[in-house]
Amino acid sequence: MEINKQVKELQYSVIRTISEKSAKYQNVINLTIGEPDIPTPKQLILEALELAKNKHFGYPPTAGSVLNRTLAAEHYNKKFGTDFTHENVLFNIGSSEAISSAIKTIINPEDEVIIFAPYYPAYPPLVSLAYGIPIIVDISKNNFKVTLDILKSAVTSKTKAIILSNPCNPTGVVMSYEEIKNICDYISEKDIFIIADEIYNMITFDEYTSFGIFPTIKDKLIITNGFSKSHSMTGWRNGYTIVPKELRQYFLNASSYNVGSPVALSLEMGNIALNKYDEIDEIVAIYKERAEYMMSALRELNYDVVECRGAFYLFVNYEKISNKNSLDFAMDLLEKTQIAVVPGMAFGVEGYVRMALTVGIDKLHEAIERIKNFK
């Protein structure tokens, strides 16, 4: 029996593969999966327990309640001066489903979607599963910056969307106001959607600009976000999408027939997070300390490291140390030091590995000591 050819051609996640292989090593330092080690705020858990004990949860509204959606819109309005309302928002089963459903909504067979490498590994497969064509544009030789000239050179008559991760997973690069404005000014004159993956927008070390502040692209902007990274709520699977309100029903259709509805208790958790934990300065400070320590220590060991200004990843070039491909380098590092990292091939480029800064600073000190002896 034949199965969907797009599914048949997919490869299992390299990140998951390396993480699972690392489990057989004793005393491993796992820097693979982007899962925060900082606990979910205790009060969030306690309030969720009370709700679970005392409230009956049936199926929630397919897109989340008006309150859920209003709080998400107000979160953006408060932080960035946008003017979203509940009519722009729908809730999803995490931001991954948000991206998947957004792509399903806008892509027809053979539509092209521009994806900048290094990229979050799910982007190309999600486009392929919707029978679109991923157009991969390598920006690793351009200081990991998306310039207007690079974008223009990739746009064709078949371009339907571009996907941008800001802050970027895997590099930690944060786009500037001018960089985003240039892109938005250009796209405003095109029939092209922007999918802005802003899941890390609360974890930034400097000024941050949301794509949502530019009214010229309001009719073609799709923002995805959630609580997994900012509030360490990975297992709760609570994300949301901000879309043009006149198109919201189409996005809702794509999501609802895939998942039915979000998780009722997770929606309540999101409400609590937005009401009581809308600022996470202490958490950001922890990630910043880790990033700055690791960047400095690795550079002293002759590794080139992309300047991380957001999220909690380092993208590390090892070509002064080894001429192996990134998978072989990652496996060699794992076998010799019991440090698990993700090869750059998972993100569409070679010569790099990604390190997730999701262990405590003591573990990172230990990782550096192990790397010092790595040959």
pLDDT tens per residue across span 308-336? 999 999 999 999 999 999 999 999 999 99
Amino acid at 217: I
- C-alpha distances in Å from residue 207, one per residue of 72, 197, 288: 21, 17, 14
Tokens of 263: 């998780």
Q: Is the pTM of this model over 0.85?
A: yes
* Residue 9 or 210, more confident: 210
Q: Is the pLDDT of residue 220 over 80?
A: yes
Q: Is the pLDDT of residue 17 over 90?
A: no
Which pLDDT score is estimated for 16? 78
- 14 confidence band (pLDDT: 50, 70, 90): confident
Q: Which CATH class is domain 57-276?
A: alpha beta
For 40-55, the pLDDT digits (tens) are: 988 889 998 999 899 8
Which pLDDT score is estimated for 18? 80
Average pLDDT of the chain is 94
Please give the average per-residue pLDDT across 69-77, as a whole number.
97
> Three-state SS for 257?
helix
Which pLDDT score is estimated for 279? 82
Q: Is the pLDDT of residue 160 over 80?
A: yes
The rounded distance, in Å, linking the Cα atoms of 93 and 70 is 18
In angstroms, what is the C-alpha Rg of the chain?
20
- Which CATH number fits the domain 5-40+280-372, given the four candidates 3.90.1150.10, 3.40.50.2300, 3.30.70.141, 3.90.480.20? 3.90.1150.10
Residue with tokens 């049936």: 58
Name the percent of the chain lying above pLDDT 90. 85
> Three-state SS for 195?
strand
DSSP for 4-73, please give it: -HHHHH----HHHHHHHHHTTSTT-EE--S----SPPPHHHHHHHHHHHHH----PPPTT--HHHHHHHH
Please give the average per-residue pLDDT across 167-182, as a whole number.
97
Q: Which of 74-83, 260-269, 303-312 has the lowest mean pLDDT?
A: 260-269
DSSP for 261-296, please give it: S--HHHHHHHHHHHHH----HHHHHHHHHHHHHHHH
Which pLDDT score is estimated for 102? 97
* Residue 5 or 142, more confident: 142
- Extents of the domains making up the chain: 5-40+280-372, 57-276
Which pLDDT score is estimated for 9? 75
Q: Are 303 and 320 contacting, i.e. CB atoms less than 8 angstroms apart?
A: yes
Give the list of residues 6+ apart from residue 319 with CB closer than 8 angstroms, or none: 304, 351
Burial of 31-65, coded b for 16+ CB within 10 Å and e otherwise, reads: bbbbebeeebbeebeebbeebeeeeeeeebbbbbb
